[in-house]
Structure 1
Amino acid sequence: MKPTGNTILVTGGTSGIGRALAEAFHARGNQVIVAGRRQALLDELAAQRPGLVGWPLDLDDPASLRRLADAVRERFPALNVLVASAGISRPEDMAGDCWDGFDAEAIVTTNVLGVLRATAAFLPMLKRRPHATIMATSSSLAFVPRADFPAYCASKAFLHSWLQSLRHQLRKVPVEVLELAPPYVRTELTGRGQAGDPRAMPLDAHVAEVMALLGRQDHPRGEVLVERDHARRWAERAGRYDATFVAMNPD
């Protein structure tokens, strides 16, 4: 992925890592379209960054995605980068009497189907553009899960596997496929407590490291991994999987 001169669509770009990436790409001179559910945040972001475009998108609604795809084809035919960053996370207690699977279904719909739907909508455009890239956000929890967030971790493990297959299928097509697998970062993904948790990596530090990796094309196997990601990513290969799982999921 080249660092500048792109037309980039960021889904889930109104908050958290998605927003920080959209701002970082815009600051480097790229045309950025941010898509998300909350119109007030879209308006705020566009007002703060002239030239950045906000567009409403509900990935659970196929009609909403069709409207966005039609608008992008008409207004931004040079689109060459899709950053699929929309995601939700909720704890689940499957041992309890009240677990009904509804949160798991919502997580799968947004985290898995949302990425698949966005890719299907924009891949035909990307195939026609030079320097095209798809980057989807998974998680370091794809490699060693936190058991209290079972569907979230599983959704990210799905993306890790699916992106490998997509990358292989597109190996003769000029579309680069990247996986961004963040560690625990100070966002409000699981609530305000995470945003202030000193154990979490500061958001600005995470995005700065990601942008440096992208700038150096330093993403072997298509995986964009900051230094904090490596321990969980390679825990099984290093023979530390069981110890890492226990440390993350104490009794």
Structure 2
Amino acid sequence: MPIHETVLIIGATSGIGASLAHHIHGQNKTVIATGRRQDRLSSLASSHPGLQTACFDFSDISTLPPNLSALTEKFPAIDTVIINAGIQSFFKFTDAETPSPEDIAKEVTTNITAPMIACQSLVPFFMKQEKPCSFIFIGGGLGYIPLPFFPVYCPTKAALQSLAVSLRAQLNGTNISVAVVNPPWVATDIDVKFKDGMIEMLGGPEKVPPQMPLEEFVEAAMKELDSLGEDGKPKRDVGVGAFPVKVVETWRKSFGPFLEQFHVDG
């Protein structure tokens, strides 16, 4: 059961993160929600009595370690960290108007550099716990099958999957498990502004895959995380929806033997 009793959710002010906070809080677990928008955090806390919040910018890597250290000092029972924070930009490098170099760097920092630093900061804390602990990354099928109109987001999600495999292999035999949840195209605020562009680039609305309702996704993801794999251990890769399930299974079947060849239990 990778979602234990005291859960830190990084990136919980909207969409998947906010819904996870709602559902986990509903299981009478302690939830610490973080994000950049204090108004969203305040609203979340007011509607969920007992839910704790912390406002900081996950992409500010100079302040990330001390912010996380402050949280583990304040909430020493933290045993689950869900990393959901992310940026998704829709553009083509051939367009005259593309994100600035600073925007691209921030997307990379938020989506992969900051998760790496968070793991570096939190692994020693987890190792001292005399109980099971877990990292849960919110990945995505686009980390396996990149779409050309997300030229920064897709590579960072591929890197996140690679990070999870490496981290899991390093932590093999410890009290820490690592899982990646791979959503389908979920109906959230982040996707609204991309829908028209996707319809145009894919050649019509009939060619655009349907979006999974947010609550349906979160309920399915939590059910999968609460179940064990065939080996009786917490699941490593969680796919929700036909596309993520298929790509995760294909990746494991294709690359699993190579991981074994190099003695990588990831």
> Under a length normalisation based on structure 2, what TM-score does the superposition of the two structures give?
0.81
2:162 counterpart residue number = 161
| Mapped contact 2:133–2:177 kept (Cα < 8 A) | yes
CA shift for structure 1 position 177: 0.4
| Mapped contact 2:61–2:114 kept (Cα < 8 A) | no
CA shift for structure 1 position 235: 5.8
d(CA) in 1 for partners of 2:61, 2:247: 35
d(CA) in 2 for partners of 1:43, 1:61: 21
CA shift for structure 1 position 175: 0.2
1:204 counterpart residue number = 215
Cα gap change, 1:156/1:173 in structure 2, threshold over 3 Å: closer, same or farther? same
Equivalent residue letter for 1:73: T
> Under a length normalisation based on structure 1, what TM-score does the superposition of the two structures give?
0.85
Quote the RMSD (CA, aligned, Å).
Answer: 2.4
Give the share of equivalent positions with the same residue, in percent: 31
2:224 counterpart residue number = 213
Q: Secondary structure at the match of 2:189?
A: coil
d(CA) in 2 for partners of 1:76, 1:66: 15
2:144 counterpart residue number = 143
1:114 counterpart residue number = 114
CA shift for structure 1 position 119: 1.5
| Mapped contact 2:135–2:177 kept (Cα < 8 A) | yes
List runs of 5+ in structure 1 lacking aligned partners: 240-251
Aligned pairs for 1:12-51 (under 5 A) are: 12-51=11-50
Aligned pairs for 1:95-106 (under 5 A) are: 95-99=94-98, 101-106=101-106
d(CA) in 1 for partners of 2:44, 2:226: 24
CA shift for structure 1 position 234: 4.7
1:223 aligns with 2:224: no
Cα gap change, 1:2/1:97 in structure 2, threshold over 3 Å: closer, same or farther? closer
CA shift for structure 1 position 104: 2.6
Q: Any idea what the Cα deviations from partners look like across 1:179-204, whole Å, max 9, x if unmatched?
A: 1111100012234565xx98210000
CA shift for structure 1 position 68: 2.7
List runs of 5+ in structure 2 lacking aligned partners: 196-207, 255-266
1:171 counterpart residue number = 172
1:127 aligns with 2:127: yes
| Mapped contact 2:59–2:110 kept (Cα < 8 A) | yes
| Mapped contact 1:59–1:117 kept (Cα < 8 A) | no
Q: Any idea what the Cα deviations from partners look like across 1:207-235, whole Å, max 9, x if unmatched?
A: 01011111222487600111332234356
d(CA) in 2 for partners of 1:237, 1:2: 20
d(CA) in 2 for partners of 1:16, 1:186: 8
How many corresponding residue pairs?
A: 236
d(CA) in 2 for partners of 1:98, 1:227: 34
Cα gap change, 1:40/1:237 in structure 2, threshold over 3 Å: closer, same or farther? closer
| Mapped contact 1:22–1:34 kept (Cα < 8 A) | yes
